[in-house]
Amino acid sequence: MNIPVAKRLQHTEEYYFSKKLREIDELNRQGKQVINLGIGSPDLPPHPDVIKVLHDEASKPNVHGYQNYKGAPALRQAMADWYARYYGVSLHPNTEILPLIGSKEGIVHICMTYLQEGDEVLVPNPGYPAYTSAVQLTGATVVPYELLAENNWLPNFEELEKRDLSKVKMMWINYPHMPTGALANRELFEAVVAFGKKHQILICHDNPYSFILNDDPQSLLSVEGAKEVAIELNSLSKSSNMAGWRIGMLVADETRINEILRFKSNMDSGMFLPLQLAAAKALSLDKSWYTQLNVEYAKRREKVFQIMDLLNCTYSTDQVGLFVWAKIPAHYPDAYTLSDDILHHAHVFITPGGIFGSGGNQYIRISLCAKDEVLEQAFERIKNKE
């Protein structure tokens, strides 16, 4: 029986990593033992105190029921305190914070709340593929805006101002930027808020990487007047080593929170309470947690630089976040070719930059989520590849 998929899915492909992992699984069944340096899933554990809270709370008999759609008060307060302590942003825990089952779901919630056919959305190229997918699911139109190395991977507002913006309802930004590791400065955040106000465009800032190899975490909402025009997503996945726990947050003006909750409340029933209380503990950790984490990532990054040198790639040593982004040598037509070459001849998987848009076709990305010995083994395999 032939039942066609809905129109909303006809231009939405299966996520690249979902398909690639099947190929890697097949190679592993053949005994290849592929080293996966592609996905940014932290291999380090959360803080022991976070695990203890989860264990202690989950052992209680009265914590296993449905939870409030807006999250536990203790978690919302911890999120507000975290934003005040590290970003200098004041948020009301009862009205300006919405806990999420991972920030990726927030991308869909925002798009489904505000977008429909006829709307246009500015999406970075290169950028996180989920922005494009979520926009397409709503029937709205993706309008890529180019990020270039010569402009430090920042939006060019002079070029954006030349466009017809009359149908643009939303703009996605993401700094520290994934996949390039570029940092935004205060001037960029001020410029994007002004741009949003001028053109009545909702600015959506995805901010999960601000603590990784970065001594100065910043929030778009620290800009005066940002709440009038902006929403920010954040996450514990990277900064607290809790990717599989699926705990994120959406912070915005009360009106935006209530609008998005109208959609979200029809999609889920809230997070397991012990997870929320453990997350609150993670958010209460002092700066030494992030310092310790970054000492480890800094060591790993040096080893990834060595792999990039071996591949004759060029890169910036100033990039931050959980990956290293590098331009491939000219003898490869594109990064997919290099990635497949390394996968099938050295049994190491490296992400081709083209999955993040055409602006990434000549780049590759390597994750820092692998121990030193794994990175050393990957180096040796590539050095001695068939």
pLDDT band at 183 (very low <50, low <70, confident <90, very high): very high
pLDDT of residue 46 exceeding 80, the answer is yes
Residue 10: the pLDDT is 65
Average pLDDT over residues 195-215: 97
Given a contact cutoff of 8 angstroms between Cβ atoms, the answer to whether 213 and 320 are in contact is: yes
The fold of 63-283 is Aspartate Aminotransferase; domain 2 (3.40.640)
Neighbours of 90 (CB within 10 A): 11
Residue 109: the pLDDT is 97
Residue 385: the pLDDT is 83
Residue 268: the pLDDT is 86
Given a contact cutoff of 8 angstroms between Cβ atoms, the answer to whether 26 and 154 are in contact is: no
Neighbours of 379 (CB within 10 A): 18
Neighbours of 144 (CB within 10 A): 17
Query: CA nearest 311: which of 361, 346, 344?
Result: 346
Is 121 in a helix, a strand, or coil?
strand
pLDDT band at 14 (very low <50, low <70, confident <90, very high): low
Amino acid code (one letter) for 375: L
User: What are the sequence ranges of the domains in the chain?
Assistant: 7-45+288-383, 63-283
- Separation CA 130–CA 137 (nearest Å): 10
pLDDT of residue 240 exceeding 60, the answer is yes
Dihedral, 190, 194, 197, 203 alpha carbons, nearest 10: -50
pLDDT of residue 54 exceeding 90, the answer is yes
**What is the reported pTM?**
0.94
pLDDT, tens only, 317-348:
999 999 999 999 999 999 999 999 999 999 99
Q: Are strands 314-315 and 323-327 parallel, antiparallel or unpaired?
A: antiparallel
The fold of 7-45+288-383 is Aspartate Aminotransferase, domain 1 (3.90.1150)
Residue 15: the pLDDT is 64
Asked if domains 7-45+288-383 and 63-283 share a fold, the reply is no
pLDDT band at 263 (very low <50, low <70, confident <90, very high): very high
Average pLDDT over residues 154-164: 96
Computed over every residue of the chain, the mean pLDDT equals 94
